[in-house]
Amino acid sequence: MSDATINLDGHDEELSLFGNRDQYLRQVRDALGVKVLARHGEIRLEGEADRVELAKNVFETLRAIYKRKKAILAGEVSQAIEDALQIADPDRPDTAEIREGGRSVRARTDGQARYLRALREFELVFCIGPAGTGKTYLAVANAVAHLRRGTIKKIILVRPAVEAGEHLGFLPGDLEAKINPYLRPLLDALHDLMDYDQIRRYMGNDLIEIAPLAYMRGRTLNDAFIILDEGQNATVPQMKMFLTRMGQNSRIVVTGDVTQVDLPPATTSGLADAVDRLSGITGLGIVALDRSDIVRHPLVQAIVDAYEMTEAPRPSGSAAHPITSPTDTSAIAERVAPPASE
């Protein structure tokens, strides 16, 4: 066992490093497995020597942030912890940690590793790729990890209410019951990561919200992790409306498969448009996954290959969705996704 003491320079620095109701202290404690004792004017760390050293480095990083701008955000605490862990173990795999029961979600392909790095580094991430690549699952896992760490206050799951070639008619029930079929993939991921009672409790306390895309208009979403699934079925105006809902200390992830657009033929996909329009902006991440990242049943990759080889191209002159062909998707991947070694 080892210990270390960090002496602080005043009450204001103490409040910033401790966080609201000692949130940041708990965050470091849970992430690094050390005992963190907050006393007047100092932070005392106890635990295994290597973990105490990591925690000390995290708090020194946070002190430098405080001295630079007199404020510390929850996301900066998460980043300081991740940076310290990465320096200590450069070969450490990218994980979205689900702490209850000691469970973790790990990248299974190089593309997924890039995706997890983007989720960690950027507050706005677009992820495009075929079915079975883990786009939705990894986003939900990351959101749950942030909620458990206290870096955000709620998770908002959003999906366009667009039917995939079938007309379901008028559905019975309240709003949640009506949109449940559209949000089923997101809820399936949640149920795999959390038990049913906990999900119902979180939803009852408004810690998890599900909503159709149209219900985002007029809102400002602070301290939230917002996931827009099936983003290829949002129109351009809807995508602009959704992205501009982003508030302070919020994170947004937009996922979708630009080869499976269910909008009318004359309607441009908002996801494809956003990837093309925003790719030159710094501060956001765009990750393109491909067939090699499919992690469902082995037959899924063969099915995707077969459809891509046999699907007929659109007739010339038709109102095609931007970036809908496999060739165009590959071009996006080369343009926006850095090599796995970066």
Q: pLDDT above 90 covers what percent of the chain?
A: 27
pLDDT digits (tens, 9 = 90+) for 3-43: 999 999 888 888 888 888 888 898 888 888 899 998 778 89
Q: pLDDT above 70 covers what percent of the chain?
A: 78
Tell me which of 148 and 219 has the higher pLDDT.
Answer: 219
Question: How far from chain centre, in Å, is Cα 335?
Answer: 21
pLDDT digits (tens, 9 = 90+) for 247-257: 998 999 999 99
Contacts 24+ apart (CB under 8 A), 37-45: 38/14, 40/14, 41/7, 41/8, 41/10, 41/14, 42/5, 42/6, 42/7, 42/8, 43/5, 43/6, 43/8, 43/17, 44/3, 44/4, 44/5, 44/6, 45/3, 45/4, 45/5, 45/6
pLDDT digits (tens, 9 = 90+) for 278-332: 988 888 999 999 888 887 666 777 787 787 776 655 443 333 333 333 334 444 4
**DSSP letter string, 170-228:** PPPSSHHHHHHHHHHHHHHHHHHHS-HHHHHHHHHTTSEEEEEGGGGTT--B-SEEEEE
Beta-carbon contacts of residue 223 (< 8 Å; ≥ 6 apart): 152, 153, 154, 247, 248, 249, 250
pTM of the model: 0.64
User: Token pair of 66, please?
Assistant: 């405080």
Q: How far is CA 164 from CA 20, 51, 160, 262, in A?
A: 44, 50, 11, 6
Res 173: pLDDT: 57
For residue 94, pLDDT over 60 is answered with no
pLDDT digits (tens, 9 = 90+) for 158-200: 988 765 444 444 555 555 565 666 667 778 888 888 888 888 8
Mean pLDDT of the chain, nearest integer:
79
User: Token pair of 185, please?
Assistant: 């993939």
> What is the number of alpha carbons within 13 Å of residue 24 lying toward its C-beta?
27
Which class for 64: exposed (0-12), middle (13-18), buried (19 or more C-beta within 10 A)?
exposed
Where does the pLDDT of residue 234 fall: very low under 50, low under 70, confident under 90, or very high at 90 and above?
very high
